[in-house]
Structure 1
Amino acid sequence: MFWIICAATTIIVGLAIMAPLLRRGQAAAEPAAAFDLRVYRDQLREVERDLERGVIAPEDAERLRTEIGRKVLDADRRMAQAATGGAGGRGLLAVALLAMLFAGAAALYLREGQPGRDDLPIARRIALAEAAYDSRPSQAEAEAEAPRPQAPEVPADYASLIQQLREAVAKNPDDPQGLALLATNEMRLGNMAAAREAQQRLIDLRGDDATAGELVRLSALMIEAAGGVITPDAEGVLARALRKDPAHPQARYLLGMLQLQNDRPDRAFPVWRRLLEEGPEDAPWIAPIRAAITDLAWLAGQPDYVPPAPLPGPDAQAMAAAEDMSPEDRQQMIAGMVSQLEARLAQQGGTPEEWARLISSLVVIGNADHAREIWTEAQTRFAAQPEALDIVRQAATQAGLTQ
């Protein structure tokens, strides 16, 4: 069916392209020569009429007949040339060009496309995604197949210190600070498996007291050691982190990545969309999300989604100037920026992320009472938008304005 549709479309497009070329060729072949020929014949008849009326002499009539006759022969010759090389030649050229274009398109599709692949309804695609999800390799299998990164050049003194750290941790394996330090330095050296092992020992040591951040770090190290694959083992650690802190941004970013790896953009999009809307713009996960969110929205069936614009912040000069300020002046500058944000929201409105930022900033500068007033106003403004209100409510909760 696919090839029948392609062939029909090709024929229709080819005829649509060729038709004006053929019409133009026919229109251009006739007027110049045919019109001249009619004019010359009229001139011959006019010469005969003038001769009969005695307007011109016989010798003048003979001279005019000869001159007009040469023009008639020339017009006949031009008409013959147009008939053999005009429309037909252009039509053949058009056909040849179209054939080359279609042949090139077919060759490109056969090389880059998948002509033998069956149609995949959404239910079938979901089933294949589930099958891929269930057939993921274990952590050990993924690490065994992962490419080995090239080890960086390490100064001798640093290598000596790392070796001393390894020996110290081996002598005191229950030292959480030593394990955390070893995991960090093994990661810097590119020894992801060793870093993962040290972090795993730290998690085992802490047990139920392990923080969400420590669990997320272990999951990230497992992913790195597995060559970027989120294995069932890494997913289990990630799930533990999200149970401890459902709002942990890095854990949610990795959760979206897990859905992408298993061909479920419909599940990844809402996770990454929320992270992008929450910010902050300088968070390390924002740049890759912003680069992919438009395509991800299209794949998730939401082609009309428009990502939020980056939230404005102080420029580099303002930040540099703030470093040289006294604490009082710096506080005054921050208060001025908060006032500008509040004035703009009052006059022009804004996104829920900007309202959340205003509430958080007011609490930071010690104006919690006014922050409560803004929170009350935001509840009215976003009452009909539950998702937007949740963003502002989260900021109010973190600021201690809600119970």
Structure 2
Amino acid sequence: MLFWLLAALLTLLATAAIVLPLLRRRRDDTVDDTREAYDREVFRAQLRELAVDVERGAISPTDAAGARAEIGRRLLRAETSAPRASVASRRPVLAALFVALLLPLGAFVFYDRTGAPEIGDQPLAARDLEAERPSVAAIVGLIERRLAERPDDGEGWSVVAPVYLRMGEGAKAANAYRNVIRLAGETAQSQAGLGEALVQAAGGEVTGDAQASFRRALDLQPGYPAARFYLALALSQTGRAAEAADAWSALLADAPADARFRPVAEAALADARAASAAPARGPTAADVEAAASLSTEDRGAMVEGMVAQLASRLEATPDDPAGWARLMRSYMVLGQRERADAALRRALDVFPQGSPGRMTVSDAATALGLDASAPVATP
């Protein structure tokens, strides 16, 4: 009985705390509208400041993408919230009476269902706290619906473009960056973002269109790190080892010690230097001309001997992606597909996942019709 008396007293105090202000004054929500307009202007200013910081190099493109996504989420929430009209009640007494009746009744009904003593505890670990938070996909869905209604919203495209890139949606990211460039004008950041999206859509290959975007980014902002990184990667992927080594070396010389891309660039530099210092030698035009005067048997023996020499050298110094590409090509020319498969598998064991050397080997294998993803038994 004492419990119910205390509960009734507390409910009465809570009801009084809510009802009395309704009787004393009216509430004007126009202040909240002003606050929402101010918040929207602050978020837009933050996006402009972030773009300036990226162009100055004060923040990395990766960190800028995360910050832009977060600012965009807040801006979207501020802009999609419905404006609230003033709800100053002309009859505060009726409102107070409604609260006075509803609050006690609701409190007792709620306690009867969820606050009974026989209900066990609910540990924090067992609660689905994340269920109340909107997922990235849900936020992107809201932005997409907004852009469907307002396709010329350059700011909306600039918010969603890096999010697509983070989600691995390269084609969507490329389309978003093209709209950003069309509506808001091109910047080094937007051109580099378009190039990165094209690379992602091409499965990691720095295509000609992507290279054009990165070069345009360098025209707009000389020395832009992201553009230099991917252009150096393009040189590595196409087997231009000496040029790639110079590009990676120059990028690392200008990069800060804590740059996130430094480990990848250092590994790529090592690959390029190894390939340029000890290039693998397969049959050249002069070798083919010299072999033309030989008999069929002698000519075949000559070519196979040179291929065997190349394979032997790669076993001794395997850190040569261009050499492995040449060895696979030589085996395919000789009609020895199983050996080409074995060479591919050996090369994939040498270069770690995501490294420029592995990309070079995988691209060469794909061009030859070999599968760089499925395991192949060594003969």
TM-score, normalized by the shorter chain, greater than 0.5 = no
> Normalising by structure 2, what TM-score?
0.37
- Rg: which structure is higher? 1
